[in-house]
A and B are shown apart, each in its own frame.
Chain A
Amino acid sequence: MAAENLTLGKALNSGLRKAMEDDPKVIMMGEDIGKLGGVFRITDGLQKDFGEDRVIDTPLAESGIVGTAVGLAIRGYRPVCEIQFDGFVYPAFDQIVSQLAKMHYRSQGQVRLPVVIRIPFGGGIGAVEHHSESPETYFVHTAGLKVVTCASPVDAYWMIQQAIASDDPIVFLEPKRRYWEKGEVDTAAPAAQVFPLHASRVARPGTDCTVLAYGPMVKVALDAATAAEEDGRALEVIDLRTLSPLDLTPVYESVRRTGRCVVVHEAPATLGMGAEVAARVTEECFYSLESPVLRVAGFDTPYPASRLEEEYLPDLDRVLDAVDRSFGW
């Protein structure tokens, strides 16, 4: 056991380092990721240790970055692109949605696209729009892309390595407001003990209501569960982890026990992950449900600037309120 107490950001850094050590075909590219180590320092020290050929400071050109990564990938490399902030991924949207996602399919499998696009996402750091967004639905909606997000240092460490080792293109969403939060990471855990990439996980067992969250909202859901305990309610919190493909089997199993389900995310409610999950849970667990699946989400507004984000972001109170509504049905 080589357990270390790491921040989520440091865990990502260590995971990236391990991926580069394990496979010489892994290449990192992005704005300011080399000498600086990225604006959040997630690639800190990698250029120094792996060289300028493998950790590249790119021009400010998101479409060019992702397109170049596609070209590297179809000729045998495993590029990892850092998008500096969520809102800066849109200039690369065509490359991701029309090329990266579709080339394997339309070439009948002639080319492979093992590209990881790392995106720090979500709010809570007092930044403004373009720096606090949750763009997951755009990518989840696109067949051919896998989308995952980590909520803890241990997941950060392993999931980034699993994503890089995957032969499919993956959008890897990093909960930026959690970069500085610490947790135990056993960097020497045997492979059999490492949780699979495309699987959701019960983060806290409970019996009364199933609360689903992912990325930055897992902590909010866990805090809500702690608070609900004082009211005598045992919430079961499930960290979805993989948004595409979704792994809802543990969710169905849970909802059949609890009869209630609340989905939490920062992205706006309309056509968000919660809408998809609600539809599927309703299809699969209709006769077990005591009340409708409820959503706690961001509002249908552009992301509001710093002070106003406190109003926008789902918090403990809004989650508990939804749980109350579920029970009051």
Chain B
Amino acid sequence: MTTTAETATAELLDWYEQMAVIRRTEQAAQDLFLAGLVKGTTHLAAGHEAVAVGASTALRDDDYVFATYRGHHHAIARGATPEECLAELMSKATGLCGGKGGSMHLTKADRNMLGSYAIVGAHLPMAAGAAWSAVLRGSGQVAVAFFGDGATNIGTFHETLNLAAVWKLPVLFVCENNLYMEYTPIGSVTAVPNPAADRAAAYRLPAELLDGNDVLAVHAAVATAAQRARAGDGPTIIEARTYRQFGHSRTDPGKYRPEAEVAQWLARDPLTLARAALADRGVPESDVDAADQRARALVEAAVAAAKAAPEPDLATALTDVWADGSAGWRS
């Protein structure tokens, strides 16, 4: 694991705890789904924690984040509480969007978590637009779009890379390459081996290919790219290789993935790697265990609160169509 002198040990322990909170939240989401308390579907990011925490800790609070339906980890890393996320998954009134968004649309605009998007690739140009707003204001903010490997084959990916490169927008494109779309290995449907990084040259953009399970590596790459963007040097593509520990969604057991591959990636669990890095730095195991316990207690309380939370008022199905809050649709 990369060791960065600048990353203080206390900070790394804090990152570990954030990752532990995400992991516990995802496990809770899965349990709630299996118990029938989360309806429809949900896409868990267990295994992707280092991408969210490594990136988010390298950003300013006023930077913008756009994520996909597999985005619970990004919402939490940007300051959404496990309780409001789980409540949203359970369609409760206390959810991030009052139950109007659901698992795939976690949004917390007041923390600049500008949404999760269920249409693959749709949010990429939006991140460019948000980045452009920062240029117009001269605010020095950056926008970050997280997306899957599958998104690199849809048109908006290419449209956005081009226009962001032409306009030198302060936007970071962070691909969470977990080697699969839903059930199809990305390598079998993509013309290049590294679906995001290998496309960078076509747009004369810099690219970083890195271990997405290494929170320090992600943090360092995002910090560098954000600095470049803030300096007016335009976008960077970051391809973080990672692996989802659950199936694609719902109850998918992920049987299409070779056992050896799964075992190899589970051995490289981002929390395990972070634990090892902490041990290297002489942090006593009991400190890390204590962080785990805090994460566990937080998420247990979140589950209880989300379960106890009220259902949304059904009348809210007919609000918020328009900016004035109404749904006046026809005369």
B109 at interface by CB-CB < 8 Å: yes
A271 at interface by CB-CB < 8 Å: no
A105 touches B163 (CB 8 A): no
The 8 Å CB contact of B321, one of A75, A77, A105, is: A105
Query: Could you name 10 residue pairs across A and B whose Cβ atoms are closer than 8 Å?
Result: A67-B122, A70-B129, A71-B126, A75-B129, A99-B126, A104-B322, A110-B107, A111-B115, A245-B330, A248-B331
A53 at interface by CB-CB < 8 Å: yes
B122 touches A94 (CB 8 A): yes
Residue of A whose beta carbon sits closest to that of B167: A56
The residues of A that contact B105 with a CB separation of less than 8 Å are 106-107
B162 touches A59 (CB 8 A): yes
Among residues 8 to 38 in chain A, which have CB atoms less than 8 Å away from a CB atom of chain B?
27
Given contacts A61-B159, A245-B330, A248-B331, contact A67 B101 (CB under 8 A): no
Count residues of chain B with CB under 8 A from any CB of chain A.
50
Per CB-CB distance, the 9 closest pairs between chain A and chain B, nearest first, are: A71-B129, A67-B125, A64-B159, A167-B323, A61-B159, A71-B126, A75-B133, A110-B109, A68-B129
Q: Nearest Cβ in chain A — how far from B330, in angstroms? A: 5
The residues of A that contact B97 with a CB separation of less than 8 Å are 106-108, 110
Chain B residues packing against A (C-beta within 8 Å): 64, 97-98, 100-102, 105, 107-110, 114-115, 117, 119, 122-134, 136, 143, 155-156, 159-160, 162-163, 166, 316, 319-325, 327-331
The residues of B that contact A27 with a CB separation of less than 8 Å are 136
B324 touches A68 (CB 8 A): no
A305 at interface by CB-CB < 8 Å: no
Q: Nearest Cβ in chain B — how far from A229, in angstroms? A: 30
The 8 Å CB contact of A72, one of B101, B115, B130, is: B130
A197 at interface by CB-CB < 8 Å: no
Chain A residues packing against B (C-beta within 8 Å): 27, 53, 58-59, 61, 63-77, 79, 91, 94-95, 98-99, 103-114, 143-144, 166-168, 244-249, 280
B129 touches A72 (CB 8 A): yes
Considering residues B64, B114, B134, which has the most beta carbons from chain A within 10 angstroms of its beta carbon? Answer: B114
A67 touches B100 (CB 8 A): no
Residue of A whose beta carbon sits closest to that of B124: A67
The 8 Å CB contact of B163, one of A59, A144, A168, is: A59
Residue of B whose beta carbon sits closest to that of A73: B129
Complex formed: what's the CA distance from A185 to B283 in Å?
A: 76
B122 touches A104 (CB 8 A): no
Q: Nearest Cβ in chain A — how far from B326, in angstroms? A: 10
Q: Nearest Cβ in chain B — how far from A137, in angstroms? A: 14
The residues of A that contact B115 with a CB separation of less than 8 Å are 103, 107, 111
A107 touches B101 (CB 8 A): yes
The residues of A that contact B126 with a CB separation of less than 8 Å are 67-68, 70-71, 74, 99
Q: Nearest Cβ in chain A — how far from B208, in angstroms? A: 23
The 8 Å CB contact of B325, one of A67, A99, A109, A111, is: A109
B130 touches A75 (CB 8 A): yes
Q: Nearest Cβ in chain B — how far from A249, in angstroms? A: 6
Q: Nearest Cβ in chain B — how far from A279, in angstroms? A: 11
B101 touches A63 (CB 8 A): no
A95 touches B122 (CB 8 A): yes
